A and B are shown apart, each in its own frame.
Chain A
Amino acid sequence: MALFEAKNVTKQYGTQLALDNVSISVPEKCIFGLLGPNGAGKTTLIRIINQITGPDSGELFLEGKKLKPDDVLRIGYLPEERGLYKKMKVGEQALYFAQLKGLTKAEAMKRLRYWFNKLDIAEWWGKKVEELSKGMQQKVQFITTVLHEPKLIIFDEPFTGFDPVNTNIIKNEILFLREMGSTIIFSTHNMESVEELCDNITLINKAKTILEGNVDDIRRQWAANEYEIVFEGNAVLPEQEKINILKRHDENGRTRIRFRIRDGIDTNDVLGNALVSGRIISFNPALPSMNEIFIRVVESRN
């Protein structure tokens, strides 16, 4: 069952259409990538999910029930444009946000202590926010996003401002949250992390959905009969009418060749021909990166 669903959401600002009949369906315990170029309408959709703004038309469902005002307490949101009160103390501020999410002071204190220790920022509790490094502020914001144990968590570019070490820590925390039963909507331009984390995606461009589905399915779909073969030593894959060599690459005594199989040709035929060329180490369908797919899809639409 889908934990969250948006059906035919349309939103207009003045004469500008921000979302045109967009639908998404986020399965439970899934990390769902919401992708799209700048200005595509992602932020508008996220704001609608958070009920910061309302849609002009369309419906939203959380756990099968229509989204209601109180549901903000079951959603966690880390916006891209985020910040903290600079003059306020870290702990006080985290408490404030927790209380706005409906936690009692005592409960919030208990959970905050756990998270501050877990992310190793406990000694900053009494400091003012302006004394913290950007990465540490991000950690505080991460904590305030997940503290009330929301069913649905929305991360908008969660890794900006983090060094590789901290990026990894947060990545693991996101995976941990999914283990604990949260469902995550993840919006980013960093396609590597999409490949790494996301199960499903929706790609929005110019207010419309242009691509959606399981990440692996999409990559296979876009593979477009491309394969990669690796030989030990120097090998030559005979140029045949069956294949089209795209790229050839020698490395550490290995030969890596990428090619496309022409329509109607069986892969076994190609592999059979290759067997005589040398010792094969691997033969794989070459999946395009999400980055390539993103660029190709968006450019083909523009």
Chain B
Amino acid sequence: MMNKVSVIIKREYLTRVRKKSFIIMTILAPLLMALLIVVPTLLMMNQEQDYKKIAVIEDGTDLFRGKIGNTKNLEFVYLEGIRISDLKNSFEQAGYYGILYISPEIITTPNAIQLLSKKQPPIGMLEHIEKSLEKEIEKQKLKAYDIENLDEIMKNVETRVSIQTIKIDDSGNVKETSTGVAMALAYIGGFLMYMLVFMFGAQVMRGVIEEKTSRVVEVIVSSVKPVQLMMGKIIGIALVGLTQFLIWVFLTIAIAGSLKSTVLQKSDLQELSRDAARSLMAEETRVQTATSIPETDTRISEFGKLFETAMNQPWGLIIISFIFYFITGYLLYASIFAAIGSAVDNETETQQFMLPVTIPIILGLMVAMGTMQNPESQLSLWCSIIPLTSPIVMIARIPFGVPYWQLALSMGLMVVTFAAFVWMAAKIYRTGILMYGKKTSWKEMWKWLRYSG
């Protein structure tokens, strides 16, 4: 009997894997994903890397000359005696990226400042300008209090803070963690789970409908038990999903990796040549740029730290639970989808049944996204234990740390529920696939559940 299921699995797997659409999707999707990862980074790097000159025009006052420090790729040029209307149409030809216009009301009205540019300025540039101006305005305001040695005091007071997050587990072990890494993992894990369960669950449904509408099903169930056909299909499609997923992961890493390394090499060269140019500059410029050099240093060490904390994540637990929740979650939803597919005569009829099934999946995804912001919320807790949402939500919670009893409870409930759903789905399926031309309702399906063998 097991042999027949494997014959079914083989057919379900091979017919799908050999399809042109599968091959195209499998190859194109990672290319698209790689592009999605690489293009924004490329754009961002290009924007940050490009050396930009910005014209600064102060209207009537002279408070901020030299106060906005140059960075390694931003230069602020203070223009005098030029009105904004003169430069408005010609700043690009003059070699400027944009015009920063500071109105005299700046001290009292914080938004009396404008940046004119042809392109959307990068966020880093805006932050730099805002911070510099804020600092300067604060200084100006403090000056009004006539405090002695203000400059010195200010220098003393200046501090930088960066929070180090450290997680202590129940046994008192200490690990440095990164909320950023946990968030990224939660996001990727939750979304992937949602996508896999939904995409391949829907494929199961379409397969069942195909067999029903083509009337091939009655021939098959005279050779195998309906539940064998259903499980063969579900498992076959799970293997298709797994195959596609593994190829995607592999190709995405390969493509993104190779693209990124070429991009990085290019930018490294640019940086080198620029550093060389800068070292030739005069001493005072050195002082000005000095602030930017440690910044890159901290960036590098931050990256190292990120890597280190990423490695500190409980990878074994994450991977094992991902596989566990994928298998049980997929089985749970695929069996519901199979039952729905068996109850209808064509795909348009599925809509009335789809809504109640999609709601928990979407809810799960939404709660998972919320979990990234607030992993300790009651909603996240309950949704990670209730079986219909738990595959997605629990995967999102694990990177933030989950007590073992909760994980065990969630997994236990999941196993019980998935078994119950497969059992119920098989009963509905058995009746549904042989039922034609009758509009099915939930009530009808409930009746099928109680038919005897």
Interface residues of A (CB under 8 A from B): 13-14, 47, 50, 52-54, 56, 69, 72-73, 75, 77-79, 81-88, 96-97, 99-102, 141, 144
Q: B293 at interface (Cβ–Cβ under 8 A)? A: no
Contact B452 A100, beta carbon cutoff 8 Å: no
User: Can you list the 5 inter-chain pairs with the closest CB atoms, starting with the nearest?
Assistant: A83-B215, A54-B453, A77-B222, A100-B223, A83-B214
With A72-B222, A82-B215 known as contacts, the answer to whether A56 contacts B447 (CB < 8 A) is no
B210 to chain A: which residues have CB within 8 Å?
Answer: 85
Contact A72 B223, beta carbon cutoff 8 Å: yes
A100 to chain B: which residues have CB within 8 Å?
Answer: 4, 7-8, 220, 223-224
Contact B219 A88, beta carbon cutoff 8 Å: no
With A82-B215, A83-B215, A96-B11 known as contacts, the answer to whether A47 contacts B434 (CB < 8 A) is yes
CA A80 to CA B249, docked complex, whole Å = 46
CA A86 to CA B216, docked complex, whole Å = 10
Contact B452 A79, beta carbon cutoff 8 Å: no
**Interface 1/0s, chain B 419-437, versus A by CB < 8 A?**
0000000000010001010
With A13-B451, A53-B453, A99-B7 known as contacts, the answer to whether A79 contacts B222 (CB < 8 A) is yes
B420 CB to nearest chain A CB (Å): 22
List B residues 1-51 near A (Cβ within 8 Å). 1, 4, 7-8, 11, 15
Contact B452 A82, beta carbon cutoff 8 Å: no
Contact A52 B15, beta carbon cutoff 8 Å: no
Tell which of B218, B220, B224, B226 has the most Cβ of chain A within 10 Å: B218
Q: B221 at interface (Cβ–Cβ under 8 A)? A: yes
A72 to chain B: which residues have CB within 8 Å?
Answer: 222-224
Q: List 16 A-B contacts (CB under 8 A).
A: A13-B451, A47-B434, A69-B1, A69-B225, A72-B222, A72-B224, A73-B223, A78-B219, A81-B436, A85-B211, A85-B216, A88-B15, A96-B11, A97-B220, A100-B7, A100-B224
With A14-B447, A54-B453, A100-B4 known as contacts, the answer to whether A83 contacts B223 (CB < 8 A) is no
With A13-B451, A14-B447 known as contacts, the answer to whether A52 contacts B218 (CB < 8 A) is yes
Contact A56 B11, beta carbon cutoff 8 Å: no
A79 to chain B: which residues have CB within 8 Å?
Answer: 215, 218-219, 222
B220 to chain A: which residues have CB within 8 Å?
Answer: 97, 100
Which residue of chain A has the shortest Cβ distance to B19 in the bound complex?
A87
A102 CB to nearest chain B CB (Å): 8
A77 to chain B: which residues have CB within 8 Å?
Answer: 219, 222
A84 to chain B: which residues have CB within 8 Å?
Answer: 214, 216
Which residue of chain A has the shortest Cβ distance to B232 in the bound complex?
A100
Contact B219 A82, beta carbon cutoff 8 Å: yes
Please pick, from B218, B219, B223, B452, the residue contacting A56 in the complex, using a CB distance under 8 A: B452
Contact A141 B223, beta carbon cutoff 8 Å: no
Please pick, from B211, B214, B223, B226, the residue contacting A101 in the complex, using a CB distance under 8 A: B223
**Interface 1/0s, chain B 194-210, versus A by CB < 8 A?**
00000000000000001
CA A87 to CA B213, docked complex, whole Å = 13
A223 CB to nearest chain B CB (Å): 38
CA A97 to CA B8, docked complex, whole Å = 10
B225 to chain A: which residues have CB within 8 Å?
Answer: 69
B29 CB to nearest chain A CB (Å): 22
